[in-house]
Amino acid sequence: MPQRLQGKTAVITGAAGGIGSAMSRLFAQEGCAVALADINDEAGEKVAEEIRSAGGAALYRHADISRPAQVRDLFQETAGRFGGLDILVNNAIFSAGDGAIAEEDDEVFDRTIEVCLKGPYLCTKHALPLLKARGGGSIITLSSVNALFAFGETAYTAAKGGLISMMRLVAADYGEWNIRSNVICPGTIATKTCMDYWERFPAGFAKLLDMYPLKRIGKPMEVAQYALFLASDESSFVTGSVCVVDGGLLAGRKFEF
């Protein structure tokens, strides 16, 4: 069976984390050369080395995506090493557990917007010329169910909502170049960071599970598989979409009479 991303190159931000590392490994397994970007250098280098040891092509670069020069260097090096770019995955986040707007810390708000909204803006800006040169490509941006219903974290929710509008505009503006832009909105996903948090609140976690019709939270690979579809030519007529991967959370719970 042919590899679904054979001959393609991807930049994946936040690649050291649970979802980002799952996407990096999966894309590489499907024949994609992967540039991993993160600020967790030890974890990022480990994932890149795992990919190379399995016969894949990968490089890791430290990149704070809120910093324009670091973003520029990331894309220049990716194009120089692999000859171009076909796929961008905007996945990196910053979440400091901010809360209601009246109690919000200004510095936390600013940093969250910098990473979660400005960062994808910068990455997309630098990716577009490379995608144009390649004759098209796919931009996949990780938002959140937080963007679609009222659920905690003022700054994070604001940034994730902004991503939907911004990336749908990219779909409209650059479709003529055969550049597709889609957004994934995951529900709660069992990353290490997520589970470390919920282990402190077992009663709250039980209530969280009850919100999901499937009575469980998601796995990083379940998000990665959807991203693979959007990165591949199988989704060649899919752009401007907001794809919910949430175990039925937004559908709501069964109503009992």
Give yes or no: 156 in active site. Answer: yes
> Rounded to an integer, what distance in angstroms lies between the CA atom of residue 63 and that of residue 194?
22
- Dihedral of the alpha carbons of 86, 88, 89, 93, in degrees to the nearest 10: 160
Cα atoms found within 13 Å of the Cα of residue 38, Cβ hemisphere only: 24
3-state SS class at 7? coil
Kindly write down the DSSP assignment for every residue of 155-179, as one continuous string.
HHHHHHHHHHHHHHHHHHHHGGGTE
Residues near 130 by beta carbon (within 8 Å), at least 6 away in sequence: 75, 78, 79, 84, 85, 137
3-state SS class at 254? coil
Q: Which residues pair with 140 in a beta bridge?
A: 89, 182
Phi/psi of residue 104, nearest 5 degrees = -65, 140
Residue in 156, 174, 212, 226 annotated catalytic: 156
- Listed in sequence order, the DSSP H helices in 199-239 are 202-211, 220-231
**58-62 and 33-38 beta bridge pairing:** parallel
Active site residues: 156
